Structure 1
Amino acid sequence: MTKILVVDDHAVVRAGVAHFIADIPNMEIGGEASTAEDAIRLVRNDTWDIVLLDIAMPDKSGVEVLKQIKREKPELPVLMLSMHPESRYAVQVLRSGASGYLQKEALATELVAAINTVMRGHKYISYGVAELLTADPTDTDKPLHETLSQREYEIFYKLGKGEGVTKIADELCLSVKTVSTYRTRVLHKMSMTNNADIIYYAIKNNLID
């Protein structure tokens, strides 16, 4: 029996997943969490076969939760769920250790296939994600934010939300100097001069929740 932990701050989503999985042989929802804190506690205190993790959590981003899970239980598969299109987060979360990325609107038809794929030891990669992963890195039409490394994008995202360097350093357990260095790299790669440019770009490209 595949024991699943569902992590999503929306009760209706958790209920929908539970209702759907209830009809699938050899799968069961063994637990639910609505916050990042609860998710980490459940991961630490119990044994799971797979985690279904929402990318947008109220107390900490799903990407940060993913990284913490992979640090503490690197063999535990995590399938990321998101309302956002694949082009926004898929490549970033796969590079961070996720076993797959699934849009919530495709949940009913693809969820079981994704879980089965992951449980066989493979990554679940849709056609759209495969195209993103195999895209030519020299493509000049590539959006600027997709040229950033995973850590650079994480810093960019937090700066785009208006967070200061000191707060980001505290949240990511990095030094202020390190965060400032990443900020400089982001500004250079994206041909920007200050945080206002980053915030404007993030809003214009619908990258901020």
Structure 2
Amino acid sequence: MIRLGLFDDHDIVRAGFRYILEGSSDIQIVAEGATGRAALDAVRKTPMDVCVIDLSLPDLSGIDVLRQVRASTPETAILILSAYPEDQYGLNVLKAGASGFLSKELATDQLVQAVRTVAAGRRYVSPTLAELLAAGLTEDIEQPAHLRLSEREFQIFSKLAVGRSVTEIANELSLSSKTVSTYRARLLEKMNFKTNADLTQYAVRKNLVQ
């Protein structure tokens, strides 16, 4: 039996995922909630094999949750779901250490398979994402600027792009403001931008923010 946690801030979406998952006799939902902090609390208190988390939660992002779960309970597989297309966030989510990434558009057909795959200790990669990973091995393919960022740089980029201040980000990630400012300067240089407004415009253009 696969013990699973399900976390998405939209009740209707979560109900749909629950319906899909409960149709499988080998999957048991042992915890669910609408926030990143609820996910972290559940992982600490309830043994689970797989935690399915929405990338965009109201308090912490799926990547924020992923980092903390990896540090505290690395045996729990993390499957990130997102309304964003795979070519925008998938590679960065896998690079951050997720066991898999799945677009919500594909969840109806692929969610159960993805859960079983990561529960077995393997990474779930859709055919689309597999093509992107293969393309990334070819040096002459030009990748989008955000894919050149490290895991932490991308995490901070995502917060800057939606208008979070350096101080807010520092508090959320338990870092100093100086450290966040250093990451900000580094990612701006990598992406060849000068201001936070440039980051926001890029994120909107690439459908990285809603």
Q: Residues 84 and 208 of structure 2 are in contact (CA less than 8 Å); yes or no, is this contact kept in structure 1? A: no
- Matched with 2:22 is 22
Question: Shift of residue 44 of structure 1?
Answer: 0.8
- Matched with 1:125 is 125
Q: Matched residues in 1 for 2:107 and 2:192: separation?
A: 38
Q: Residues 66 and 78 of structure 2 are in contact (CA less than 8 Å); yes or no, is this contact kept in structure 1? A: yes
Aligned length: 209
- Matched with 1:162 is 163
Q: Matched residues in 1 for 2:196 and 2:70: separation?
A: 31
Question: Shift of residue 23 of structure 1?
Answer: 2.1
- Matched with 2:192 is 191
Q: Matched residues in 2 for 1:114 and 1:140: separation?
A: 28
State, as a whole percentage, how many aligned pairs show the same letter. 43
Structure 2 unpaired stretches of 5+: none
Deviates more, 1:45-54 or 1:153-162: 153-162
Cα deviation, 1:105-162, whole Å, max 9, x if unaligned, reads 2112111111121122110011211222231464463211111111111222222112
Q: Matched residues in 2 for 1:140 and 1:19: separation?
A: 41
Cα deviation, 1:11-50, whole Å, max 9, x if unaligned, reads 1122112222222122122221111121111111111121
Q: Residues 66 and 98 of structure 2 are in contact (CA less than 8 Å); yes or no, is this contact kept in structure 1? A: yes
Q: Matched residues in 1 for 2:86 and 2:181: separation?
A: 29
Q: Residues 88 and 206 of structure 2 are in contact (CA less than 8 Å); yes or no, is this contact kept in structure 1? A: no
Give the direction of change, closer, same or farther, for the CA distance of 1:197–1:17 in structure 2 (3 Å limit). Answer: closer
Relative contact order, higher structure (CA 8 A, sep 6+): 2
Report the 3-state secondary structure (helix = DSSP H, G, I; strand = E; otherwise coil) of the residue aligned with 1:3.
strand
- Matched with 2:111 is 111
Cα deviation, 1:141-195, whole Å, max 9, x if unaligned, reads 3211111111111222222112222222121111222111111111211222222
Coordinate RMSD, CA, aligned: 1.6
Q: Matched residues in 2 for 1:70 and 1:21: separation?
A: 24
Structure 1 unpaired stretches of 5+: none
Q: Matched residues in 2 for 1:5 and 1:98: separation?
A: 15
Q: Matched residues in 2 for 1:140 and 1:119: separation?
A: 33
Q: Matched residues in 2 for 1:27 and 1:163: separation?
A: 38
